[in-house]
């Protein structure tokens, strides 16, 4: 297995194929502005996705349902991502990439606008599902676009810059949404998400170059990724391992109010602290991934397991929980690392693999929220998300070690 780790960790430097990014793609106003435009889209999606975690108490009260029941609105969004990422990516395999990015943002804007206008649980659940459909396709194409604008050895950092928009959403967007839910009306948060998504479509039109689909791209070519065992094992690593973070994050707000007796007005500050951890993890994690991809993934999964486990003894103390929230947030460092690994092992089906990475993360989102919610509803208490999260992160690590042990050949880079 040690040979497998060394062999696959230097893949990005040695491998190449028809999609190589050794010659960076020029952007009309520079790569920096292009990545900023993509990151704004990440901010819109991150705010739309993560706001529900902080809004659960307000949403549950407004809709007259229990918090675990309201938690299914998190899982419904995740289900939309899981289904939408492969379906849209395969169906649009021949579509020009800038146009596809714009279309995904328009769809995201419409879905969140309808959430803002809805007042019934069933209707909100339906539009949460629909707004999740473009999530994975957007991030998958955005990651490939960003990676195409830099040298081969800087791909993880480029993907990290796109994902930075999502992590900033956890610092600014989600806490502001939680505050809005407490002080004004939680529906307004989703109206703001719709406006930011519409703005992203405009920025993409200005700053992203026209990028034709790769030569030979087709639905069948993309579906070839599904025959690759390493793709499935990488996806399973994210789907299980990343669930630890979401198990804790999904119920952090109600746990703080119920167990630490924290004033609701202070909860957004703890959510922002978790977001700071995400931003730090995304930045540092991308650098580690560019240096040694597989060791970075192993280290991040171990970190996730430990941070979730610490939630259990920390919970009665608001200061300890706040510190642990920052540590849990750092676990998002896993995201750019797994994104690059999927690009590497997918060979000629990078678009589908990159999109499926976000399906996997949203399986983790739904799985973490559902299992932690079930544990709470079963009477295991507000500490149970920590136990659930630690088990999920450990399970992801076990799957990744199997992936390394079963690797038979050297994957090619994008």
What gap in Å lies between CA 373 and CA 69, rounded to an integer? 8
Region 238-261 average pLDDT: 86
Which tokens belong to 63? 């809709």
Please check whether residue 115 is in contact with residue 131, taking contact to mean a CB–CB distance below 8 angstroms: yes
Per-residue confidence (pLDDT) for residue 2, from 0 to 100: 42
Region 30-51 average pLDDT: 86
Per-residue confidence (pLDDT) for residue 217, from 0 to 100: 57
pLDDT bin (cut points 50, 70, 90) of residue 134 is very high
Please check whether residue 11 is in contact with residue 138, taking contact to mean a CB–CB distance below 8 angstroms: no
Region 212-232 average pLDDT: 69
Instruction: Provide the percentage of residues in the chain whose pLDDT is more than 70.
Output: 86
Region 391-413 average pLDDT: 80
CB atoms inside a 10 Å sphere around CB 114? 18
Region 11-33 average pLDDT: 52
Per-residue confidence (pLDDT) for residue 20, from 0 to 100: 39
Distance of alpha carbon 11 from the chain centroid: 24
What gap in Å lies between CA 232 and CA 113, rounded to an integer? 34
Q: Which domains does the chain have, with CATH numbers?
A: 2-406 (1.20.1250.20)
Per-residue confidence (pLDDT) for residue 169, from 0 to 100: 84
Per-residue confidence (pLDDT) for residue 306, from 0 to 100: 94
pTM comes to 0.72
Residues 172-212 have pLDDT tens digits of 887 788 787 777 888 888 999 999 999 999 999 998 888 77
Residues 151-172 have pLDDT tens digits of 766 777 777 788 778 778 877 8
Please check whether residue 362 is in contact with residue 78, taking contact to mean a CB–CB distance below 8 angstroms: yes
pLDDT bin (cut points 50, 70, 90) of residue 256 is confident
Q: Could you write out the DSSP letters of every residue in 64-99?
A: T--HHHHTHHHHHHHHHHHHHHHHHHHHTTTS-HHH
What gap in Å lies between CA 408 and CA 385, rounded to an integer? 37
Residue 202 CB contacts under 8 Å (≥ 6 apart), including other chains:
none
To the nearest 10 degrees (0 to 180), the angle between helices 97-117 and 31-63 is: 20
Per-residue confidence (pLDDT) for residue 276, from 0 to 100: 87
What gap in Å lies between CA 32 and CA 107, rounded to an integer? 25
Per-residue confidence (pLDDT) for residue 357, from 0 to 100: 79
Among all chains, which residue has been given the structure tokens 């509803």?
377
H-type alpha helices, 118-215: 121-147, 155-168, 174-183, 187-207
Which tokens belong to 131? 């707004």
Region 127-142 average pLDDT: 89
Residues 62-110 have pLDDT tens digits of 787 877 777 788 878 888 888 888 888 888 877 888 899 999 999 999 9
Residue closest to 139 by CA, chosen among 284, 71, 40? 40
Q: Could you write out the DSSP letters of every residue in 349-370?
A: -HHHHHHHHHHHHHHHHHHHHH
Weakest mean pLDDT among 129-133, 136-140, 406-410: 406-410
**Average confidence score pLDDT of the chain:** 81
Instruction: Provide the percentage of residues in the chain whose pLDDT is more than 90.
Output: 23
Please check whether residue 387 is in contact with residue 374, taking contact to mean a CB–CB distance below 8 angstroms: no
Which tokens belong to 345? 């092992």
Weakest mean pLDDT among 30-44, 90-104, 221-235, 268-282: 221-235
Weakest mean pLDDT among 25-39, 296-310, 319-333: 25-39
What gap in Å lies between CA 344 and CA 371, rounded to an integer? 31
């Amino acid at each position: 297995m040690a040979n497998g780790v060394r062999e696959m960790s230097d893949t990005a430097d040695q491998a190449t194929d028809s999609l190589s990014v050794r010659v960076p793609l020029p952007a009309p106003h520079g790569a920096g502005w292009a990545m900023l435009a993509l990151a704004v889209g990440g901010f819109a999606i991150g705010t739309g996705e993560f706001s529900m975690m902080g809004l659960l108490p307000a949403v549950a009260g407004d809709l007259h349902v229990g918090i675990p029941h309201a938690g299914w609105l998190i899982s419904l969004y995740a289900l939309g991502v899981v289904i939408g990422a492969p379906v849209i990516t395969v169906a649009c395999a021949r579509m020009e990439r800038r146009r596809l990015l714009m279309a995904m943002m328009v769809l995201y804007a419409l879905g969140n606008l309808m959430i803002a206008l809805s007042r019934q649980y069933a209707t909100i659940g339906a539009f949460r599902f629909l707004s999740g459909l473009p999530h994975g396709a957007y991030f998958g194409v955005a990651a490939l676009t960003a990676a195409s604008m830099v040298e081969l050895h800087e791909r993880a950092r480029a993907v990290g810059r796109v994902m930075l928009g999502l992590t900033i959403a956890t610092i600014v967007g989600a806490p502001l949404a939680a505050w809005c839910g407490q002080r004004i009306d939680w529906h307004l948060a989703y109206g703001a998400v719709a406006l930011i998504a519409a703005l992203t479509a405009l920025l993409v039109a200005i700053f992203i170059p026209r990028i034709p689909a790769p030569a030979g791209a087709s639905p069948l070519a993309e579906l070839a990724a599904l025959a690759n065992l390493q793709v499935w094992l990488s996806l399973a690593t994210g789907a299980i391992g990343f669930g630890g973070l979401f198990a804790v994050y999904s119920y952090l707000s109600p746990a703080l109010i119920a167990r630490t007796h924290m004033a609701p007005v202070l909860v957004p500050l703890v959510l922002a602290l978790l977001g700071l951890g995400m931003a730090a993890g995304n930045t540092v994690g991308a650098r580690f991934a560019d240096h040694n991809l597989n060791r970075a993934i192993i280290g991040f999964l171990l970190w996730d397991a430990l941070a979730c486990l610490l939630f259990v003894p920390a919970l009665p103390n608001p200061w300890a929980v706040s510190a642990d929230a920052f540590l849990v947030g750092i676990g998002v460092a896993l995201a750019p690392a797994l994104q690059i690994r999927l690009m590497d092992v997918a060979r000629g089906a990078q678009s589908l693999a990159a999109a499926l990475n976000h399906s996997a993360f949203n399986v983790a989102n739904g799985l973490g929220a559902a299992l932690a919610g079930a544990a709470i509803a079963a009477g295991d208490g507000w500490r149970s998300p920590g136990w659930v999260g630690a088990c999920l992160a450990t399970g992801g690590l076990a799957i990744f070690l199997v992936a390394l042990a079963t690797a038979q050949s050297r994957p090619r880079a994008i």
